[in-house]
């Protein structure tokens, strides 16, 4: 019997905490495979932290063999330095996926929240509660960065389901 399930790795990038969430999806049913965070030591220079993020994502790719890597698009407030640092963290993730020939998809935080909660302005608390229900978890996924990464993975799964329905 053919397994048509897909493994999706969602990633919420950050230089202090990079959240990840791995789901297995089939026919709009999703199972949380793994989730957590990569936490480079803050005392390390940024170049070393970017490498730790790259290395951590690459290890997740090797372990779970995802069909897609989904990265949160950059959310820029007013601080250009933070935007640049976050962009470099995103680049580390994208390079890890590209090195392993994994397709990369990007979604805005509002799109992921909309996909999971039905409201693009949902709070992190609401996202965690809904993920607990959707993924049949015994507790809310924590930390918030891991929950955001799971939401990104589910967002992409919904997008794939939608595109498949259009094609058929």
Query: What kind and span of H or E run contains 104?
Result: strand 104-107
With vertex at residue 123, the alpha carbon angle to CA 117 and CA 129, rounded to the nearest 5 degrees, is 55
Read off the pTM. Answer: 0.93
- Interatomic CA distance for residues 122 and 112, integer angstroms: 10
DSSP character string of 106-118: EE-HHHHHHHHHS
Task: Please give the chain's pLDDT, 168 residues, in tens.
Answer: 456 899 999 999 999 999 999 999 988 799 999 999 999 999 999 999 999 999 999 999 999 999 999 999 976 667 888 889 999 999 999 999 999 999 999 999 999 999 999 999 999 999 999 999 999 999 999 999 999 999 999 999 998 865 565 555
Q: How far apart are CA 51 and CA 144, in angstroms?
A: 22
DSSP count for the chain of H helices, then E strands:
5, 5
Q: Alpha carbon of 157 to those of 8, 85, 88, 136, 143: distances in Å?
A: 8, 28, 26, 16, 22
Catalytic residue annotation: 12, 72, 145
Domains parsed from the chain with CATH numbers: 6-167 (3.30.420.10)
């Amino acid at each position: 019997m053919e397994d048509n399930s897909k493994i999706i790795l969602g990633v919420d990038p950050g230089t202090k905490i990079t959240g990840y969430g791995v789901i297995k999806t089939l026919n709009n049913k999703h199972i949380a495979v793994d989730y957590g965070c990569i936490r480079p030591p803050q005392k390390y220079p940024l170049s070393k932290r970017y490498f730790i993020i790259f290395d951590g994502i690459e290890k997740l790719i090797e372990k779970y063999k995802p069909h897609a890597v989904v990265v949160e698009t950059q959310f820029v407030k007013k601080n250009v330095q933070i935007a640049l640092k976050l962009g470099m963290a995103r680049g580390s993730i994208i390079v890890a996926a590209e090195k392993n020939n994994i397709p990369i998809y990007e979604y805005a935080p509002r799109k992921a929240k909309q996909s999971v909660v039905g409201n693009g302005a949902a709070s992190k608390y609401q996202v965690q509660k809904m993920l607990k229900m959707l993924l049949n978890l015994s507790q809310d996924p924590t930390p918030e960065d891991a929950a955001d990464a799971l939401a990104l993975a589910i967002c992409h799964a919904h997008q794939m389901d939608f595109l498949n329905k259009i094609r058929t």
